[in-house]
Structure 1
Amino acid sequence: MQQTGTVSVIIPCYNHGKYLSETLDSIEASTYPRIEVIIVDDGSNNQETVDFIESCRERKIKGQYVKILKQENQGPATARNKGINASSGNFILLLDADDKIDETYIEKCIWVLTKYPHISIVYPSVQHFGDQKDIWHAQPYDFRLLLDYNYLVVSAVFKKELWEKIDGFDEKIPGYEDWDFWIRAGSFGYEGYWLREPLFFYRKHNESRLNRDNQQRKKLISFIKEKNSQIYREAAKSINGRQENKSLVQKLATKIIRVGSHAPSFLKNIGRRIVKPILEKALRQDSSGSDTLFQMQTLEETSVDNYIRHSYEYTPNLQYIDLLTKRKSEVDRETLSILFVVPWLTVGGADKVNLDLITQFKEKGHEVHLFSTLTDKHAWHEQFKSMTSKITHLGNWFTGINELLDYTIDYIQANNIQVIQMSNSQLGYQIAHVIKKHCPHVKIVDLLHMEEPYYPFDYFRYSVRYKDAFDHRIVITSYLKEVLIDKYGETPNRVTVIPNGINVVDTYEETDYLKKVERNECVIGFVGRMEEQKLPMDFVQAANEIRKHTRHARFIMVGDGSLLKSTKDLANSLGIANCITFMGSRNDAVEIMKEEFSLLLMPSLREGLPIVGLEAFSLGIPVIATNVPGWNDIIFQDKTGFTISVGDYKKMAVSCLSLISNVEKRKEFSKNAYLLAQQSYSISKTSSNYLDIYKSLLSQDSCIS
């Protein structure tokens, strides 16, 4: 009996038992609740595989025992047909025994398949892992192009009725049977949808069957085209000139990629750096693999605002919401469901704040979801994913605002989102009113990090238009609260000051700072973007002044940006390049600070509440910085460090020298810095303040009801 809404995952396995555990774990971690798993042992003769498959009979995934089917070795096409024939779901996912899926993959496919009746296949972009680590992007569905080359992975999610209609996989084909399957599906009018995120993980290794098929590629292509010659003749009649030209471009790109895949490693690296961007431009794709949802950073209203206000009408995906929504008996009233809406997941202070908050919320037992809104490579994706698997990159997936809004509202309802934590997301602000209109129970809390009045754009000014959609505002300093109230007209009782929090070790001794004091040299460090705001060249000038008075100092700069080359050039011209180590962008900046830094020197033009300064304090590192809001909020003059006028790098050098020469004073500053971090900036305490606000807002509704 077919189970509506159930996804049957079919896993053909031939001697790949050593990988199968990872495959099953990835399915079990899926955010989609209705899954059955069927393993088809395709005549494995490896005892490790045979034993492991047999042990899977006792394993449950999503409450259902894994089903085991066996056959003589007949190949994946026969195994897939056998598994699908025995399945009870109305959706099918074919997953090879050495591959994996992202936790959100199935759920996102089901959203598409239940929203669009004309769509029968959802296929993703691909993350390669194992011997090769990169991302392969598919392309929007076009049946005519599919006849030229296969851009659909076999691990798409499709409706079972498709398989029934076209009589399944052809078991007589010697290879590329999945391409043949998609061609025949397309000839029957079944359409596909490209899910642009790389949510399918394909293992690259020498044992891959695809590698073997590719060795007889020309023969297999000729075979499939001859087998489906009638389909090709019918399609040829309807191809117009424009489509044919596009196909030629796609063919050329594919041929270049195919030739490049067999090139030596050094040529592949050149191809990725030089050829790939050219191909992407020719195909009008960015590095995410899609045409972007254009987001112009401006204080003025944009076409997105205009569309939302005058044209958007929500079309709910009721089937998806029903399939995902937890029953009331399954909901823990003490657990909050929190959705973070952020621009990207990249290296930066604001992102570190979000990551730390998410970590704390998860540790305290709450459910955390995350939306990013810009098209980006999201360098910190894995760091965030280690805390929450429920991540959607809206800017990478969607190319239209209507579909994005429908998904957002459906997701909020299906996942019982109670609180949305906004942080520096322009698109998040733009869609806030729509969220409140369709999900009035959801509380939206806005976090502002820094006012930048001298820039053409900043979130203090931008947020004014959308502030009525927010239930509460959080700023990180008392100064910023005054600005938000006095300058931007916010109501005082709607604004709370919560400083950025950081992880603080339990005791001062654990900072290991005293070990650094015993060294014969003092390391002075800089951590930040190499941009004008951070004044990295002032750091180099201060370093030069320090070197004039002592040879017991060296310098480390951690960070990347447009001024990196100029900063290095300045160090060379001053003759101190050999004293400064440029480390570039690093994910282990805190570890570097703990191991190396004696002092942190930060000559910024402006700051919000500098997370790097708080992290330095947590490690007992005194800070010398400019006297600007943010730094002067956390530095106690002549106690935890010094604040110096912007541009006065000579006085900064003098302050550093006073601590280099006076070891006892440096130790005193170090201890003061650590105690300040422990008492005022512990992430455990600051995250609890966020949760108190959320619970207070939600309790107001409870009192009304």
Structure 2
Amino acid sequence: MTFNFDSLPFHRTKTKKLSDNAIPLVSVITPYYNAHEFINETAKCILSQTLKNFEWIIVDDGSNDSKSLSMLDEIAELDNRIRIVRKENGGLSSARNKGFQEAVTDYIVPLDADDLIESTYLEQCYWALLAYPEKGWAYTDTVGFGDHTYVWRKKFDIQTLKEDNFMVATAMIKKELWEAVEGYDETLKHGYEDWHFWLKAIKAGFAPVHVKEYGFWYRRRPASMLRTLLEEESQKKIAVAKVKELANQLEKLENAAIEFEEKIIFKGTLEPECVNYVKSIEDKQNSKIVLLFLFPWLNMGGADKFNLDLVKGLDPERFRCIICTTVPSSNVWHDRFAEYTDEIFHLPNFLPAESWPSFIINKIIEENVNVVFISNSEFGYNVLPWVKENVPTNFTAIDYVHMEEKYWKNGGYARFSANVTSYLDKTYVTSNHLKDVMIREYSIPENKIEVAYINVDALGYFNPELVDSSGLREKVNIESNVPVILFPCRLHHQKRPYMLINIAQELKKRNLSFVIWIVGDGPEETGLRTKVHESGLDNYFIFWGSVRDTRPFYVEAICTLICSIKEGLSLTTYESMAMKTAVITSDVGGQKELVIHEETGYVVPLLVDEKVDFGSKEFLKEEVDLYVDALVKLLNSSTLKENMGQKARERIVSSFLLEHMVGNFIADFENYMGTRPKDKSNGTELPKLILSLYYQLLQTERKSDEIWAARCYYEELAKRSLVTIPQVNKTMVMKIWSKIKSKIR
């Protein structure tokens, strides 16, 4: 994975203040001994926490350096949540124990004076322990920075911990755990005290919650305590002996750790939990419009780019943006969104699904949210009725629908939106085509729906005059006279990537020079690569994978090809036209509202049925020929390419600039600023039932995915003659799969 080690937390955070009467929920304790060098960076991280109800106890362990003492006095004046506790020098364990003794809360985080935490660290760990009250501590994954850099993610394993200290000292620890193990061993003054502490916790029967976030930043320095320890052989032997003695007493962990991995975690109740979170009282001197966004993930894609553009375009002096994601994901665009808000919560990474509704409700109450904005979040739609019923004040709920998908859950997000339209104040859609569908097929009142074209930054980022594409062809040894057909998208059946094989074969038959550049990745990448090779077309395809900057690819292309079976109004269409690149597109969604046939590109009729043919790898020759004919025209005429490209950009600049889209949303958000009276609840059980059924569906889908993956795996082995599948077992699997599919539909 790629990780930006230069994006340190204190560079991205924003201080959040409270009034004097806020009740602490969490204590941060920091041992301090002549530690002035980096304490300011640590302070910025702590004072920017999204969970504002905390106290920060700095334990001065007998500092004798005047600069360090002076710095400590300055830190104490920064915030009324900071207090200084002074003691004689006794070492790191002694200072931590003193901090635990002084803490007024039940949840305590030891954090050294040179280390850092992300702004969401306290809140995520606190909620993880609320969700699992039987666990003793919560911890995140680690980023090493400074002397050398790394990312550290290890599944919790007691056998490994007995041999190797993969844990760090910083975690959110329940005070009852610290009391049960009688604190840190103060005889271990030079290291291994945290390793010894965790082994004592396990022996006492405690287990952790492992939050799947890189939340803790561990500063690596040549003169660290541990390195000093390694140079002091006698001290090392004593420490190792104590750790080994304790490790040998451990057999297994009865109270299993909680791990958040690549799937949604359930506690098993399948009903929304009600968690009472103590509300803080925020300083309202700089009141802003607070927006809570519910997104599925932060990944590469058209809908995600719309989400990013919207968040990016909001003035931070007038708006606060909070983002919650609701689908397990690598969230490769997290850093892009983090440039504009430090309040990002990936719910699948630190909470079981039953606790998500409480987190959303408490976030709305805690932050005085004005607008909840749903974009492609299935959970967002299912939780909205429950939230509306349980939040004591009113807020505006709006959504943005990118397309209707008949092949998925009888309409996809358009259907989800229609199901809860009585709870939504307004629905935005990508095109007039989708607006008509929503009104005609889903009975959305016309006064509740509005077209908001996603648009593009054509005057700034997507300006071909500002892009240098030199060297791109050299990377893949493509001559400058070979025309490039660009296919930029997530490789999914919706995009019909396998049609490219048929198109390439027809172009090859006509002895035309061309190469197809695939820019993007996805679930069909492996299959498409295999099909290209089997078809003898390796010389006609280049797979670039996922790239962050697509602009040079548009510059080099004669056209962008979009042969999807379903689109809303694709972002690649906007981008391509802004970059003076013609578009050949299927006539789906709102594509023809942007692409003018035979003027800015070509609009090709869709000759198949979406519900019947979705996922098929067989394509009508008549439809393939329509794409080939359009491509031949561009391949045979550089003048046509230039004219279409010029008209395409002119159309974008005249009518589809990003600043117009963002400006319209800003105007609407400002209209929603006022607090309205809470609508009277009808007391129905329906919102709870909706959520429970949704959770059951998620579990069923997960089980079906597991069975399907096993079926595919064994069939592949059978094809390679590696195993023989007993017919009875295969039949049984297919019967189970058929039943599950019928339930999902």
In 1, distance between residues paired with 2:483 and 2:657? Answer: 27
Supply the AA of the counterpart residue of 1:391: I
**Equivalent residues in 2 for 1:311-460 (5 A)?**
314-317=274-277, 319=278, 321=279, 323=280, 325-327=281-283, 329-332=284-287, 335-362=288-315, 365-401=318-354, 403-439=355-391, 440-457=393-410, 458-460=412-414
Which protein, 1 or 2, shows the higher relative CO under an 8 Å CA cutoff with sep ≥ 6?
2
Q: Please list the CA deviations of residues 391-424 of structure 1 after superposition, one character each: whole Å capped at 9, or x if unmatched.
A: 11222222251x3322221111001111110122
Aligned CA distance change for structure 1 residues 119 and 51 (closer, same or farther; 3 Å): farther
In 2, distance between residues paired with 1:685 and 1:639? Answer: 24
Distance apart, 1:450 and its partner CA: 1.0
Distance apart, 1:490 and its partner CA: 1.0
Q: Is the 8 A contact 1:121 1:156 kept in 2?
A: no
* 1:497 alignment counterpart: 451
* 2:261 alignment counterpart: 287
Supply the AA of the counterpart residue of 2:574: L
**Equivalent residues in 2 for 1:167-206 (5 A)?**
168-173=183-188, 175-181=191-197, 195=211, 197-203=213-219
Question: What secondary structure does 2:596 align onto?
Answer: coil
Distance apart, 1:151 and its partner CA: 7.9
Q: Is the 8 A contact 1:38 1:87 kept in 2?
A: no
In 1, distance between residues paired with 2:430 and 2:21? Answer: 54
Q: Is the 8 A contact 1:287 1:377 kept in 2?
A: no
Distance apart, 1:582 and its partner CA: 0.6
Q: Is the 8 A contact 1:4 1:90 kept in 2?
A: no
Q: Is the 8 A contact 1:500 1:611 kept in 2?
A: yes
Query: Given the alignment, which residue of 629, 652, 661 partners 1:686?
Result: 661
In 1, distance between residues paired with 2:596 and 2:246? Answer: 79
Distance apart, 1:12 and its partner CA: 4.1
Q: Is the 8 A contact 2:375 2:400 kept in 1?
A: yes
Q: Please list the CA deviations of residues 280-332 of structure 1 after superposition, one character each: whole Å capped at 9, or x if unmatched.
A: xxx995635x872399xxxxxxx95xx45xxx6x4432x2x1x2x424x4352
Aligned: 1:564 with 2:529: no
Q: Is the 8 A contact 2:468 2:552 kept in 1?
A: no
* 1:669 alignment counterpart: 644
**What TM-score results when the alignment is normalised by the length of structure 2?**
0.72
Q: Please list the CA deviations of residues 471-510 of structure 1 after superposition, one character each: whole Å capped at 9, or x if unmatched.
A: 1111111111111111111111011111113222259663
Q: Please list the CA deviations of residues 22-78 of structure 1 after superposition, one character each: whole Å capped at 9, or x if unmatched.
A: 544433432244553637578799xxxx96886565457853698889999864223
In 1, distance between residues paired with 2:62 and 2:21? Answer: 25
In 2, distance between residues paired with 1:196 and 1:649? Answer: 45
Aligned CA distance change for structure 1 residues 12 and 372 (closer, same or farther; 3 Å): same
Aligned CA distance change for structure 1 residues 364 and 80 (closer, same or farther; 3 Å): closer
Aligned CA distance change for structure 1 residues 18 and 526 (closer, same or farther; 3 Å): farther
- The answer to which of 473-482 and 659-668 deviates more is 659-668
Distance apart, 1:625 and its partner CA: 1.5
Q: Is the 8 A contact 2:454 2:661 kept in 1?
A: yes
* 1:577 alignment counterpart: 538
Aligned CA distance change for structure 1 residues 97 and 523 (closer, same or farther; 3 Å): farther
In 2, distance between residues paired with 1:195 and 1:286? Answer: 6
* 1:654 alignment counterpart: 629
Distance apart, 1:536 and its partner CA: 1.8
Aligned CA distance change for structure 1 residues 566 and 171 (closer, same or farther; 3 Å): closer
Query: Given the alignment, which residue of 590, 594, 610 partners 2:570?
Result: 610
* 2:617 alignment counterpart: none
* 1:488 alignment counterpart: 442
Unmatched tracts of structure 1, length 5 or more: 237-243, 251-282, 296-302
Distance apart, 1:338 and its partner CA: 0.4
In 2, distance between residues paired with 1:73 and 1:503? Answer: 59
Aligned CA distance change for structure 1 residues 582 and 191 (closer, same or farther; 3 Å): closer
Unmatched tracts of structure 2, length 5 or more: 1-19, 474-478, 607-619, 680-745
Aligned: 1:631 with 2:650: no
Question: What secondary structure does 1:330 align onto?
Answer: coil
Aligned CA distance change for structure 1 residues 123 and 574 (closer, same or farther; 3 Å): closer
Report percent identity of matched pairs. 25
Q: Is the 8 A contact 1:345 1:379 kept in 2?
A: yes
Distance apart, 1:442 and its partner CA: 1.3
Distance apart, 1:688 and its partner CA: 2.2
In 2, distance between residues paired with 1:61 and 1:523? Answer: 62
- The answer to which of 431-440 and 185-194 deviates more is 185-194
* 2:50 alignment counterpart: 31
Aligned CA distance change for structure 1 residues 605 and 211 (closer, same or farther; 3 Å): farther
Supply the AA of the counterpart residue of 1:93: V
- The answer to which of 199-208 and 478-487 deviates more is 199-208
* 1:620 alignment counterpart: 580
* 2:16 alignment counterpart: none
* 2:465 alignment counterpart: 510
Q: Is the 8 A contact 1:138 1:196 kept in 2?
A: no
Q: Is the 8 A contact 2:395 2:676 kept in 1?
A: no
Q: Is the 8 A contact 1:126 1:202 kept in 2?
A: no
In 2, distance between residues paired with 1:581 and 1:659? Answer: 20
Supply the AA of the counterpart residue of 1:326: E
Supply the AA of the counterpart residue of 1:418: N
Q: Please list the CA deviations of residues 540-564 of structure 1 after superposition, one character each: whole Å capped at 9, or x if unmatched.
A: 4434544566766433111223432
Q: Please list the CA deviations of residues 648-671 of structure 1 after superposition, one character each: whole Å capped at 9, or x if unmatched.
A: 333323323433443333222222
Q: Please list the CA deviations of residues 88-130 of structure 1 after superposition, one character each: whole Å capped at 9, or x if unmatched.
A: 88864322344321101123445577x6997796422213334
In 2, distance between residues paired with 1:341 and 1:38? Answer: 37
Q: Is the 8 A contact 2:40 2:75 kept in 1?
A: no
In 2, distance between residues paired with 1:61 and 1:685? Answer: 45
Aligned CA distance change for structure 1 residues 190 and 582 (closer, same or farther; 3 Å): closer
Q: Is the 8 A contact 1:7 1:89 kept in 2?
A: yes
**What TM-score results when the alignment is normalised by the length of structure 1?**
0.75
Q: Is the 8 A contact 1:614 1:677 kept in 2?
A: yes
* 2:9 alignment counterpart: none
Q: Is the 8 A contact 2:554 2:560 kept in 1?
A: no
Q: Is the 8 A contact 2:260 2:350 kept in 1?
A: no
Question: What secondary structure does 2:324 align onto?
Answer: strand
Q: How many residues align?
A: 630
In 2, distance between residues paired with 1:378 and 1:501? Answer: 23
Aligned CA distance change for structure 1 residues 134 and 513 (closer, same or farther; 3 Å): closer
- The answer to which of 664-673 and 155-164 deviates more is 155-164
Q: Is the 8 A contact 1:112 1:122 kept in 2?
A: no
In 1, distance between residues paired with 2:464 and 2:552? Answer: 18
Q: Is the 8 A contact 2:124 2:350 kept in 1?
A: no
**Equivalent residues in 2 for 1:81-92 (5 A)?**
81=97, 92=108
Supply the AA of the counterpart residue of 2:660: K
Distance apart, 1:687 and its partner CA: 1.9
Aligned: 1:223 with 2:242: yes
Query: Given the alignment, which residue of 431, 453, 456 partners 1:477?
Result: 431
Q: Which has the higher helix share?
A: 1
Supply the AA of the counterpart residue of 1:644: V
Distance apart, 1:156 and its partner CA: 2.1
Q: Is the 8 A contact 2:209 2:259 kept in 1?
A: no
Supply the AA of the counterpart residue of 1:344: W
Distance apart, 1:592 and its partner CA: 3.8
- The answer to which of 459-468 and 149-158 deviates more is 149-158
Query: Given the alignment, which residue of 591, 601, 605 partners 1:641?
Result: 601
